[in-house]
Structure 1
Amino acid sequence: MAATTLKLTNRSPKQPIKKLPASIELGPDATVEDVKKIIAKEARIGDFNRVGLYDPSTKKTLKNRKARVVDEEGVSSAGEVLVKDLGLQISWRTVFVIEYLGPILIHLAVVAARPYLYKNAEGDMSQTQWLTLGMIVLHFVKREFETLFVHKFSANTMPFSNVFKNSFFYWAISGALCAYFIYSPTSLAAQADIPVVDAIGAALYLFSETGNGLVHRYLSTLRSTGGTERKIPVGYGFGLVTCPNYMFEILSWVSIILVSRDWTVALFIAIGGAQMFQWATGKERAYRKEFGDSYKKKRFVILPGLL
């Protein structure tokens, strides 16, 4: 099959790519990523990940970088694609590492500096406070491990500015806010004297973290390294909800609420749960659209009987 010509149009006329060619020649099997690389070379953009491609009719981004251009209906029918410089990029893996490192360092730092941060904090922390510290730090250490060795990302990068927005949530709320209130000598965790509550919370935590880790490991097996393909997940709680990894994540933080008795932890997972609900709803729509009748539709996306 002969090469085809693809017209290129700036997505943002007020911020155009100055050296964007009017068109490029493509082979029949050229992918979205191939187009990005050609444009980056022609327009002298150092990182091809900066190149954003959009459907000319819907104005939606072409997310699947491995998809053939001829299979993108809006682009192939119009013979045109909209192009935008997305700015400085950073890998998803790096962003996740930075996000999760903050709470680990902050919680350890607050405990170390406890005598200087609070009045009457000369004594040791309560057993419940130490347990809460271990649960929170272990949670984020697990996330770091999964980021480095388990997760497979469908997208290469995200805008560099996102690292600040994404990290603020973890560093400020699950990090600084939670740490300051939990390790205070006047916190409910400092005054806790019901060991059975701690035991129940710890048991729920171990169950939830294990479940979350198993789901993440299973999901990583559904995608090839560097691939963007999706398969219908089964088992591991997928018969109950769209995203059981979010279900286990929420249960894990519920266990930390039980042990810490602290409102800041509840605030953190309430905000996080709202975001996870949006992500899971979008994922349910994507599964239904991509797999049709072969996908068993879910009524609840993160919590059975609730959400």
Structure 2
Amino acid sequence: MKITIASRNPKSTKFPVTLEFEGTPSTVTVLDVAKALESKFPKYYPDRQRLTNSDKKVLSIDKTLAESGVQENDIILFKDLGPQIGWRTVFLIEYGGPLVIHPLFYYLSGVFYKGSFEHSPMQKAVYAMVMLHFLKRELETVFVHRFSHGTMPFMNVFKNSAHYWFLSGINLAYWVYGPWYGAGKAAATRSDVWLWGSVAVWAWAEFSNLLNHITLRNLRPPGTRTRAIPYGYGFDLVSCPNYLFETIAWTAVCFLSTSWSAFLFNIVATGQMYVWAVKKHKSYRKDFPDYPRNRKSMFPFIA
């Protein structure tokens, strides 16, 4: 069978090209087409390709051409997504920023604040909470997460990292670890109930978040993009309890530090996670007709 690949770029001089395959639309997969295109143009490895039908609907590499509505002698449209970087690498870079930035501000106070001082119990607790949070995220990236999408455009890593490196990195570290919150300062005074209560809520939320990530991991066999309906702790109420618990964890940091910088980061992060949660919730309901109707996106009984 033959398939013609045309570029969505009208100025392209490499396309259209015609590829030949042994088999039928029912046996040839979109991945076979992507690999054949890579053989002809090594620069365009499968993760760099976006293949669509004549209606510009993206073709899933897990499906056959017939399942994708493509027949012999049809035209498939190609778009170059540009150089790609693995999602796992992206996450390691994103979360690695705060793990480097926070110790710099915490231990080099003489450099950033022009003088040394003793950190208050609040600052020590917040430092431990932030470092453990991002260390947990790094470990989850390596040992827990299974990604449905292998890569993303390389240039996006800078945009994605800015959120963590600046908002939860420089912004949070500079203002929380400053001398105005140092030992003996009124602004840093916390009762034991306030301090340890915040730590307890944070620890519960972080552990709950980990349990949610393990549940999601177990739904996807290694090396697949399989999707299934998640059930269990948190999922009976919302589609994305992992986002809910992360918001609760950072809210505990906010109320312990009382710093506007922590609240700023939490508001921005929660807003972004809510957008993602709504998108995932709609996707679940679209892909699974039997998806529980009583679930909300991220906030139980609300939205």
**TM-score where L is the length of structure 1:** 0.91
Question: Does the 8 Å contact 1:21/1:43 carry over to 2?
Answer: no
Determine if the alignment matches structure 1 residue 102 to structure 2 residue 97. yes
**TM-score where L is the length of structure 2:** 0.92
**CA distance in 2 between partners of 1:304 and 1:189 (Å):** 37
What SS is found at the alignment partner of 2:3? strand
* Equivalence for 2:27: 29
Question: Does the 8 Å contact 1:240/1:300 carry over to 2?
Answer: yes
Residues matched between the structures, number: 298
Select 2:273's aligned residue among 264, 268, 276.
276
Alpha carbons of structure 1 residues 241 and 79: separation in structure 2 relative to 1, 3 Å? same
What SS is found at the alignment partner of 2:79? strand
**CA distance in 1 between partners of 2:29 and 2:247 (Å):** 38
Alpha carbons of structure 1 residues 105 and 189: separation in structure 2 relative to 1, 3 Å? farther
* Equivalence for 1:144: 138
Aligned pairs for 1:125-140 (under 5 A) are 125-140=119-134
Determine if the alignment matches structure 1 residue 13 to structure 2 residue 7. no
* Equivalence for 1:302: 298
* Equivalence for 2:42: 44
Determine if the alignment matches structure 1 residue 158 to structure 2 residue 156. no
Question: Does the 8 Å contact 1:242/1:301 carry over to 2?
Answer: yes
* Equivalence for 2:261: 264
* Equivalence for 1:92: 87
Select 2:252's aligned residue among 233, 249, 255.
255
**CA distance in 2 between partners of 1:283 and 1:209 (Å):** 21
- The one-letter code of the counterpart of 1:22 is T
Aligned pairs for 1:139-218 (under 5 A) are 139-187=133-181, 191-218=188-215
Alpha carbons of structure 1 residues 40 and 139: separation in structure 2 relative to 1, 3 Å? same
Alpha carbons of structure 1 residues 133 and 77: separation in structure 2 relative to 1, 3 Å? farther
How much does 1:127 deviate?
0.8
Question: Does the 8 Å contact 2:2/2:72 carry over to 1?
Answer: no
Q: Deviations over 1:161-209 (max 9, x none)?
A: 1111111110011001000000011148962232211111111111100
**CA distance in 2 between partners of 1:257 and 1:133 (Å):** 12
How much does 1:287 deviate?
1.1
Alpha carbons of structure 1 residues 272 and 65: separation in structure 2 relative to 1, 3 Å? farther
**CA distance in 2 between partners of 1:65 and 1:232 (Å):** 22
* Equivalence for 1:290: 287
**CA distance in 1 between partners of 2:141 and 2:95 (Å):** 9
- The one-letter code of the counterpart of 1:221 is N
Q: Percent identity?
A: 39
Structure 1 unaligned segments of length 5 or more: list them: none
Question: Does the 8 Å contact 1:128/1:189 carry over to 2?
Answer: no
Question: Does the 8 Å contact 1:30/1:69 carry over to 2?
Answer: yes
Question: Does the 8 Å contact 1:212/1:245 carry over to 2?
Answer: yes
- The one-letter code of the counterpart of 2:296 is F
Question: Does the 8 Å contact 1:128/1:190 carry over to 2?
Answer: no
**CA distance in 1 between partners of 2:51 and 2:205 (Å):** 39
Question: Does the 8 Å contact 2:172/2:261 carry over to 1?
Answer: yes
Alpha carbons of structure 1 residues 189 and 98: separation in structure 2 relative to 1, 3 Å? farther
What SS is found at the alignment partner of 2:50? strand
Structure 2 unaligned segments of length 5 or more: list them: none
**CA distance in 1 between partners of 2:61 and 2:249 (Å):** 34
How much does 1:276 deviate?
1.2
**CA distance in 2 between partners of 1:279 and 1:32 (Å):** 27
Question: Does the 8 Å contact 1:126/1:190 carry over to 2?
Answer: no
